[in-house]
Amino acid sequence: MLVVISMTVLLGMAALVLDLGLGWYAKRQLQASVDAAALAGAQELPSNANAVSRAHEYILKNPTRGVTDVQDTTTTKCLTTAPGCAPVNALTVKASAKADTAFARIFGINSMTVGAKATACQPCGAKPLDIMIVLDRTGSMSEGSPTKMVGAKAGIMTFLNFLDAGTAKVGLAVLPPATSVANKCVTGADANYDSASSKYVIVPLSTDFKVNGVINPSSNLVTTLNCQNPGGVTHYSLAIQAAQAELNTSGRAGVQKIIVFLTDGAANTGPHFFSSGNIERLRPCQSGVNSAAAAKQAGTWVYTIGYSIGSDQCEQDRKSGILETPAITPDQALSAMASSPANYYVRPDTGQLNTIFTQVAADISAGSSRLVDDEWG
């Protein structure tokens, strides 16, 4: 009788030790799978649907060893400790599964339930960026209700909210340029193009646009953005050159350089301090393509937004109506200016700009996702 009782106890202890070991192994395998799924899903943020779908797809396509009947739940949320909550910047994956037992089957216990949980953020403030925004403030930006300028300002503010001022530096260039930085809030005018001393960069690269993770309304960037008023006609090239020069001069070594260029129409003028045969006057759209090509050659990522550009044609001069030769449309020019076709956003309206600026912010921050917690479920 004592031997039988002793053997029962010993078998029970063996079952406990062995099956707990199997359970521990199963949990670790499930945790690794959940960690990887969270990181994979986070790459799709801020798109809620894409992030959830990719995390679930990852678990389905990558079976976890040692477990069966895996059930997963994925949710997105706004993580206040990371930047870019527009509208979400983190993803949590929870999973449970069945792990088979060995000796515990003697006691009628055929399996045990294990669980795991992981949260990943994207972005996580770990990717330094130097960014120049080039804003078209020409007269046509006064069109619409709300106006195009109102929509552009709102989109840029959404973009700034997504960024981490601890790692990102942002500056602002405009077209038409200002006569001087001191006159940066004066409405743009056609004549401003004709002076070689005019200032396209009216806010240098800076980090004070946020304080403690919150937009700083008194910063130079935000106050300057808010005071812009539409006026004048369009020329692309020199604004791009000035933005790239600021990135070269004030940007940080080893940090990715980015230009985000927004315009609502075709280039239709050229600075008159150039000769009449200069490409800046004869082919103002093509000169913009050339300036963007030089920026890309220097390693800068160029994003372009053709904002309700309609069916404009690129002109040598708006007053004469003489078309650029060979003929080129703003669609073609802006597509060629962008680093890739995916970096050109075609004819968005005012209501789409917030989404577009969020997509740009997410794209430039891609690859900065990381786990912020993982734990046993």
Does residue 190 share a domain with residue 91? no
- Which of 59-73, 206-220, 282-296 is the most confident on average? 282-296
pLDDT per residue over 163-204, tens digit each?
A: 888 889 999 999 999 999 999 999 999 999 999 999 999 999
Indicate the helix (H) or strand (E) that contains 373: strand 370-376
Is the same domain home to 18 and 111?
yes
164 and 293: one domain? yes
Count of structural domains, the chain: 2
Task: Examine the domain organization and report whether 177 and 325 are in the same domain.
Answer: yes
Which position has the higher pLDDT, 194 or 78? Answer: 194
Residue 195 lies in a domain: yes
As a whole number, mean pLDDT of residues 72-100 equals 82
Instruction: Identify the weakest region by mean pLDDT among 82-96, 145-159, 180-194, 264-278.
Output: 82-96
249-277 per-position pLDDT tens digit: 999 999 999 999 999 999 999 999 999 89
309 and 254 part of one domain: yes
Domain assignment present for 231: yes
Last residue of a domain, one of 67, 101, 122: 122
Which of 120, 98, 95 is closest to 31 using CA atoms?
95
The answer to whether residues 227 and 358 belong to one domain is: yes
- This prediction's pTM: 0.75
* pLDDT per position as a tens digit, 280-312: 999 999 999 999 999 999 999 999 999 877 777
Regarding whether 40 and 139 lie in a shared domain, the answer is no
Burial bucket for residue 265 (CB in 10 Å: 0-12, 13-18, 19+)? buried
Domain that holds residue 261: 129-365
Nearest in space to 132 (alpha carbons), one of 363, 303, 309, 291: 303
Residue 354: inside a domain, yes or no? yes
User: CB burial class (10 A; 0-12, 13-18, 19+) of residue 351?
Assistant: exposed
Among 71, 100, 122, which residue terminates a domain?
122
The answer to whether residues 280 and 322 belong to one domain is yes
In a domain, 375, yes or no: no
Per-residue pLDDT at 376 exceeds 60 = no
In this structure, is residue 294 part of a structural domain? yes
- 257 bridge partner residues: 130
- Same domain as 161, residue 27: no
Question: In terms of residues, how long is the chain?
Answer: 377
215 with 347, same domain? yes
Are residues 263 and 293 part of one domain?
yes
Using pLDDT thresholds of 50, 70 and 90, give the confidence band for residue 231: very high
pLDDT per residue as tens digits for the range 116-134: 899 988 877 667 999 999 9
Residue 207 included in any domain:
yes
Residue 377 lies in a domain: no
Coil/strand/helix, residue 341? helix
- CATH code, domain with 309: 3.40.50.410
Residue 376 resides in a domain: no
| Residue 283, both tokens | 């082919």
Same structural domain, 156 and 66: no
End of a domain among 96, 122, 148? 122
Q: What is the pLDDT of residues 2-23, one digit of tens each?
A: 665 666 656 656 566 665 666 6
